[in-house]
Chain A
Amino acid sequence: MRTDTNDRRRFIEALEAWEWVTGASRPSTGLRVDQAIEEARHVWQRILDGETDSLSAVPSQDLPDVLHGLAAVISEADPRSEAAIDAVVRCFKAVDALVWPEDHFGEKSGLLSTFSYLVWRQARRTGLEAAREEWERRTVDLALSQPWVRDFLEIPAQRWSNQLTGCFFQDPVVVFAYRARLGVRINLLPVAAWREAIIAYDWMTQNPTPLLSNDERHYFLASFALTAGAGCKHCGDTNGAIDWLATAERHALQIIGSGEFRVRITFVRLSVAYERHQYDEVAARLPALLKDAEKVKSPVFSAKCRLLEAMNFKEMGEWERAMGAFERLLQSEGARMDPHVRALSKLSLAGIRSRRRDVEGALALVDDVSGILADSDIPPVRAHAQAVRGEILRDHGVLGGAIDSYRAAAHDYAQQGMASMAVYTALIAAETLLVANREAEAMSQLVALLPVVDELELVGEGVAIVGLLREAIRRSKADPETLRALKSLLSRSEMTQRHDS
Chain B
Amino acid sequence: MALRALPGRSRGDTDTTRRSMSEAEMESFYQHIFLPLVRRATWRHHLSKEDARDVVQDAFLLAIKRIDAAKNPRSWLIQVVDHLATNHQRKLIRRRKLAAKWGPTGREPESLGAHPDED
A residues with a Cβ closer than 8 A to B are 7-8, 11-30, 32-34, 37, 60-61, 63-65, 68-69, 71-72, 101-105, 107, 110, 147-148, 151, 163, 166-168, 170-171, 208, 210-211
Complex alpha-carbon distance, A13 and B60, angstroms: 11
B residues with a Cβ closer than 8 A to A are 1-2, 4-9, 11, 13, 15, 17-18, 20-21, 25-26, 28-40, 42-46, 48-50, 52-53, 57, 60-61, 63-64, 67-68, 70, 72-75, 78-79, 82-83, 86-87, 89-90, 93, 115-117, 119
With A19-B60, A104-B36: A32-B79 Cβ-Cβ less than 8 Å: no
Contact indicator B57/A12 (Cβ below 8 Å): no
From B26, B35, B48, B75, A30 is in contact (CB under 8 Å) with: B35
Complex alpha-carbon distance, A60 and B38, angstroms: 17
B44 to chain A, nearest CB (A): 6
Interface of B is mostly: helix
Contacts of B15 in A (CB 8 A): 20
Contacts of A34 in B (CB 8 A): 115, 117
From A8, A30, A167, B86 is in contact (CB under 8 Å) with: A167
With A102-B28, A105-B78: A30-B49 Cβ-Cβ less than 8 Å: yes
Contact indicator A33/B49 (Cβ below 8 Å): yes
From A15, A33, A210, B64 is in contact (CB under 8 Å) with: A15
Q: Other than A8-B67, A105-B78, give 20 A-B pairs with Cβ distance below 8 A.
A: A13-B21, A16-B18, A19-B61, A19-B64, A20-B18, A21-B26, A22-B7, A25-B7, A25-B8, A25-B9, A27-B7, A27-B53, A29-B35, A33-B117, A34-B115, A65-B39, A68-B39, A72-B115, A104-B33, A167-B79
With A12-B73, A29-B35: A17-B26 Cβ-Cβ less than 8 Å: yes
Contacts of A166 in B (CB 8 A): 86, 90
Contacts of A26 in B (CB 8 A): 7, 53
Contact indicator B60/A68 (Cβ below 8 Å): no
Q: Enumerate 18 A-B pairs (CB-CB under 8 Å) in ascending A order.
A: A11-B74, A13-B17, A14-B21, A16-B18, A20-B11, A22-B9, A22-B57, A28-B6, A28-B7, A29-B52, A30-B4, A32-B117, A34-B117, A65-B42, A68-B43, A72-B115, A105-B74, A167-B83
Complex alpha-carbon distance, A19 and B26, angstroms: 11
Contacts of A105 in B (CB 8 A): 36-37, 40, 74, 78
**Lowest 6 CB-CB distances: which A-B pairs, in order?**
A17-B21, A21-B8, A68-B43, A29-B49, A28-B5, A102-B32
Contact indicator A107/B40 (Cβ below 8 Å): yes
Instruction: Name, among B25, B39, B115, the residue most crowded by chain A CB atoms within 10 Å (CB to CB).
Output: B39
From A68, A103, A168, A171, B42 is in contact (CB under 8 Å) with: A68
Complex alpha-carbon distance, A68 and B53, angstroms: 17
Complex alpha-carbon distance, A134 and B116, angstroms: 36
